[in-house]
Amino acid sequence: MVDNNNNLIDEQEKLLDLPIQLTAGDLSDIMEIPPSEVIKELMRHGVMANINEIIEFEVAVLVAHEFGFKVLKPKSDSTKTLKSDFDSSNLNDDQIILRSPVITILGHVDHGKTSILDSIRGSKVADSEHGGITQSIGAYQITHNNEKITFVDTPGHEAFTAMRARGAQITDIAVLVVAADDGVMPQTKEAIDHIKSAGTPMIVAINKCDLDGADINKVKSQLVENDIVPEDYGGEVMCVETSAITSKGIDDLLESIILLGQILELKVPRNSSGEGYILEGTLDKTKGSLGTILVKEGSVSVGDYIVAGEVSGKIKNLTDGFNRSVKNVAPGAPAQVLGINAVPKAGDNFKIFKTDKEAKKYLKSLNINKEQRKSVIRNNEEDDESVFRIIIKCGTDGSVDAVKKVLETIENEDVNIEITHSSSGSVNENDVMLATAANAVVVGFQTVIEQGAIRQSRTNDIVIKNYDIVYEMVDELTEMILKNRKSQTSENTLGFAEVLDTFSLGKTKIVGGFKVVEGLVKRNSLIKVTRNEKVIFQGSISSLRHLKENVREIKSGMEGGLTLDGFNEFEVNDILECFEIVTS
């Protein structure tokens, strides 16, 4: 496989071509291993690093070996990092700040998720400030020992996954609540699978420890059975004993959150434009369109211009999680925005601009690049085809293990089967939402499919299969897996050219006048534009001319002109690489 960052991963031999300089997050992306697993492995090797920290090449090799990869000999000039997110390695310490961690609380119904949130709100904010712990926007921020923590109050793990299904990775730390008397229940297992699927760091709150039937050791043993190993059992998952009713352990839970947040080192640039996610969009009868935002980077102020998906507007008012008007919102904090021209969609990214002109220019660029974004999404989906993810739902507990064993017999050498979640019960909407987030197929065996799940699957284009006979399941899944085998693609370079001049074509198009210095430039091919040894654009040729005639190709030593789809920023001395994608 060839990824978009020119790092080679040989699927059959599991070979990695790593850059000499890379972060823990880069290594996670290249290996396609969850960041939390990579950080755990680093800790086992005595390295305390967050996802944005650069790690030594030798350490990266050791970690890669632990996950079954062989690392190729490094290239001396390979220093490019992978992550398109904020990279702090090029900034000084005074250019960086740490944002507050964003927390989501998950767990089985009636195990005390809401009670813990209420206890935190009640202990950290005076009643006079928030009207008896009335929360207005589904998220709030508290301060504990001078450290800020943001809580997103989702109604359950289905909302946690629904946001992720839309591409919004809002949560830094998940708190899994388990009742000390009940222990690990079916919804607890679902929540664990959702957290693991997201690769989110976890803290366990063992709640209701004040009850007579509390059995802490039993709960921890059940957690181990579900691959959640507490620290006092030799693992790395922090477990805190709490009672939401008496507030016992609540401060310990907050301390654990702060500690894990410090380990993660959630760095953001000190001076940058505001951006983040839409948590919720609503239409108020008197105020109009409202959007609840979570700021991930930069700041948001009254008077700024916001663009979220296809909606935009000038921010007239900002309200925090306790219905107080504020002028500014810092990274990691939530707020409700007034001034958007339409209801924003939950999960959409938003960006902040200082002028209406900048916002409109950005909106226009979104429309121009819509097809390019679709192409990127298609490419990402194709990159993931070597893994066939399945969610299993069976009529009985005994059938779950039996189906797992059957699936082991049909694994293909080109496709890895990954069981994202398995449990007994009917196929429901939560299963479909998890399948959407994980790009999985839902497989039922001798069970029923709820109508809500059917409707949700049609909306999200998710495949649900239900079987009563084992061999029918094996035959059909085998066929699906064979169809899912990934074809190998590679880039075949056709030639190189240098931009000699630029000129306008009509009112909107810029032509790059070039000379072919090697090979040829072909009409039905792709072009990479390189400036100062950095690729700044990749796309298709929209027109190719020699003199004034449209031509199919221009060979070495000849001059011509071209325009590219979605690119008008040619400069003299730009290098054009002409290539095509070869599928085998």
- 12: its two tokens: 């059959």
Residue ranges of the domains in the chain? 9-90, 98-269, 275-368, 382-483, 489-583
> Looking at the domain covering 98-269, what would its CATH class be?
alpha beta
Cα–Cα dist 450/446, whole Å: 13
The single-letter code of the amino acid at 6 is N
Which SS3 state, helix, strand or coil, does residue 274 take?
Answer: coil
Q: Which residue has the tokens 């909106």?
A: 363
* Closest-CA residue to 536 (of 511, 485, 583, 571): 571
What number of other Cβ atoms are within 10 A of residue 365's Cβ? 11
Residue 51 bridge partners (DSSP): none
Equal CATH topology for 98-269 and 489-583: no
Which SS3 state, helix, strand or coil, does residue 395 take?
Answer: coil
> Looking at the domain covering 382-483, what would its CATH class be?
alpha beta
Q: Report CA torsion sign: 530, 565, 538, 524.
A: negative
Cα–Cα dist 505/568, whole Å: 10
Distance set, CA 438 to CA 184, 192, 247, 274, 421 (Å) = 23, 14, 36, 28, 10
Residue pair 571/502 in contact (Cβ under 8 Å)? The answer is yes
Which SS3 state, helix, strand or coil, does residue 265 take?
Answer: coil
Distance set, CA 15 to CA 414, 486, 569 (Å) = 15, 17, 37
* Closest-CA residue to 177 (of 261, 244, 97): 244
What pLDDT score was predicted for residue 1?
33
Q: Which fold has domain 489-583?
A: Elongation Factor Tu (Ef-tu); domain 3 (2.40.30)
What pLDDT score was predicted for residue 488?
59
Whether domain 275-368 has CATH 2.40.30.10: the reply is yes
Written as tens digits, the pLDDT of the chain (584 aa) is 333 344 444 444 577 878 777 788 888 888 888 877 887 787 776 676 666 677 877 788 888 888 888 777 554 333 332 233 455 555 566 778 889 999 998 888 788 888 888 888 876 554 433 333 334 567 889 999 899 999 987 655 555 565 655 545 788 999 999 999 999 998 888 888 888 877 889 999 999 999 988 999 999 999 998 888 888 888 889 999 999 889 999 999 999 999 999 998 888 887 788 999 888 888 887 888 899 999 988 999 999 999 998 889 999 999 988 888 999 999 999 999 999 988 888 878 899 999 998 888 887 766 544 444 344 333 444 444 567 889 999 888 778 877 888 887 776 656 678 888 888 888 988 888 888 877 889 999 989 999 888 888 888 889 999 998 877 888 888 888 777 665 556 788 999 999 999 988 877 788 999 999 999 999 889 999 999 888 888 888 989 998 888 899 999 999 999 999 888 889 999 999 999 887 66
Tell me the CB-side half-sphere exposure of residue 187, using CA atoms within 13 A: 18
What pLDDT score was predicted for residue 11?
45
pTM value?
0.56
